Structure 1
């Protein structure tokens, strides 16, 4: 919370519920994160690690971007569906495009 937020929070007590909701939505939009651009070399590195994890049944750590935020998943890769562009790891289905980094334990 910045110094300027204090004034708007102070006035929310006198606002209509619709205005408060619009103010909350504005704050959330300002906090949205942008997906980093992954170059071809990094994408190839991620693909190699995924293939190695599947082939050797290794545990992998994945960092992915979904719904304007960053998340991590850890586990064994159950399957890679290249046709539908999804990967199944630790009970989650992740879009392959959302993966931004990978580490093998």
Structure 2
């Protein structure tokens, strides 16, 4: 008896929605996922600077958490360059080379 029931689930509900409703639902979901920028004090900033310096000198794997437009992004790799003038660091990862602004870094941890 249950084999005869063919429920299409979300397909039938989204087909009945207006495009304005779908756009508003997507905006609402993005708003729910938004994370406030963490407030870092001087101690946190000094710890980040120290970890960046140590990781660059030791050339070890690092885990970098970056705040980007309301979400936290994770990176892993080796710090290859620290540009003090333009306030960027360059991280070499298995997926390529990423340049990230120092002002958006939340946390840096050496993996080794």
Where on the TM-score scale, by shorter chain, does this alignment land: which range?
0.7 to 0.9
Normalised by the size of structure 1, how large is the TM-score? Answer: 0.78
For structure 2, list consecutive stretches of 5 or more residues without a partner in the other structure: 1-11
Aligned twin of 2:108 = 102
Count of aligned pairs between the two proteins? 96
Q: Distance in 2 between matches of 1:15 and 1:59?
A: 48
| Correspondence 1:1-105 to 2 at 5 A | 13-90=15-92, 91-104=97-110, 105=112
For structure 1, list consecutive stretches of 5 or more residues without a partner in the other structure: 1-9
The structure carrying a bigger helix percent of its residues is 1
Q: Runs ≥4 in structure 1, deviation > 3 angstroms? A: 10-15
User: Rg: which structure is higher?
Assistant: 2
Normalised by the size of structure 2, how large is the TM-score? Answer: 0.73
Taking structure 1 as reference, are residues 27 and 60 closer, same or farther at Cα in structure 2, changes over 3 Å only? closer
